[in-house]
Homo-oligomer: A and B are copies of this chain.
Amino acid sequence: MVTARIRTDQPSRAAHEGIAVRVSLKDVAAHAGVSIKTVSNVVNNYQHVTPAMRERVQRSIDALGYRPNLAARHLRKGRTGIIALALPELGNPYFAELAASVIDAASEHDYIVLLDHTGGMREQELLVSQGFRARVIDGLILSPIELEAEDLRDRAQDVPLVLLGERDYDLPYDHIAIDNVAAARAAVRHLICLGRREVAFIGARRGRSEPAQLRVRGWREELTAAGLSADEGLVAATDGWGHADGALAMNHILDSGRRPDAVFAYNDPMAIGAMRVLHERGLRVPEDIAVVGFDDVIEGRFGAVTLTSVSPDKAAIGRLAVESVLARLNDRAPEPRRIWADYRLAERESTLGRPAAGKVTDV
């Protein structure tokens, strides 16, 4: 069969007219009357090329509209220029914002991001970590939820892996996170300083125990340190981490007859779900119950009651994750590191004495 490729005398014109033309180094070389490798040298900014030659070849490149074939380059070099980012859920705005920050950071290094989501399910996380979902990647940034250390232990080390988030493995991989225990303690301390004495925790994960563990621990430690009781009856387990889960958990606590004067939620959507329930039940935030969330997502700043939240430096996390992956790719790979990103506590109406009045706060 005749190859379906279209060649014209004036490919540049053809290209301009929108006809598919694939131009290879070979074509450029022929056009410029030099060898393929010389063209390659020009394309790759090889040092020893005379300005005259560079000029001449560049002219042909422009004329033909040549663009390197990445598949071939990849096959040859073993690099794709793609890193994968696997997150539990895109629906959670925290992860969406994180994804944006990773994409931007990667793009600064001329890397492109392949995005995947696991739903926080071990099965999916396993597939991702072993590269079965995306097999064209130079590196992987994974934010695991259910994955166990053992799942990662016998992973083929083909592509470098960087872990994100709250899970705490003892494994030879870079891990980027904020200090969850300290951050949780800061949040709870803030509540205690407001005079709250019964602080509920919403969002311990039902079933497998690990996720949220660190934040629960922070909650427990801080209460204990303050001489208050860390009453496990005030810890509400949930199946997921969405608004609805927060609402369910809040209802559950209130239905059990408890009346905490503060709630610390695993994340913002859950805190907002909880606030909705409080509103429905006629409980005032923060007068009756103060609420603190985690992640500082944008929507927390625009509710009827704006939400106090632990605010991780998402931009830094994205940047650090990308840099870690690329460092390992380029063999500048030091010992596996635990990298702590910054965070702060963004205080808003949900923990203030007086609720809103005036202008939109803290945008």
A→B interface (CB under 8 Å):
15-22, 65, 67-72, 74-75, 80-82, 89-91, 93, 95-97, 99-100, 103, 107, 112-117, 133-136, 153-158, 242-244, 247, 269, 272-273, 275-277, 279-280, 298-299, 301-305, 356-360, 363
Given contacts A82-B136, A273-B360, A280-B358, 16 further A-B contacts (CB under 8 A): A18-B156, A18-B157, A19-B156, A20-B157, A71-B136, A74-B74, A80-B136, A81-B136, A91-B100, A114-B115, A115-B115, A243-B298, A247-B302, A272-B303, A280-B356, A280-B359
- Chain B's closest residue to A81 (CB) is B136
Question: Considering only CB atoms, which chain B residue lies closest to A277 in the complex?
Answer: B360
Interchain residue pairs with CB less than 8 A apart (25): A15-B156, A17-B154, A18-B157, A20-B156, A20-B158, A70-B135, A80-B136, A81-B136, A90-B90, A90-B96, A96-B96, A112-B133, A113-B114, A113-B116, A114-B114, A114-B115, A136-B136, A243-B298, A243-B301, A247-B302, A269-B302, A272-B302, A276-B303, A276-B360, A303-B304
Are the CB atoms of B243 and A299 closer together than 8 Å? yes
Shortest CB distance A230–B (Å): 28
Complex contact B116–A100 (CB within 8 A): no
B302 touches A276 (CB 8 A): yes
CA distance A156 to B303 in the complex (A): 46
Q: How far does the alpha carbon of A99 sit from the alpha carbon of B136 in the complex, in Å?
A: 20
Contact among B242, B279, B360 for A298, CB-based, below 8 A: B242
Inter-chain CA distance A117–B20, complex, in Å, is 25
Docked CA distance A268–B244 (Å): 18
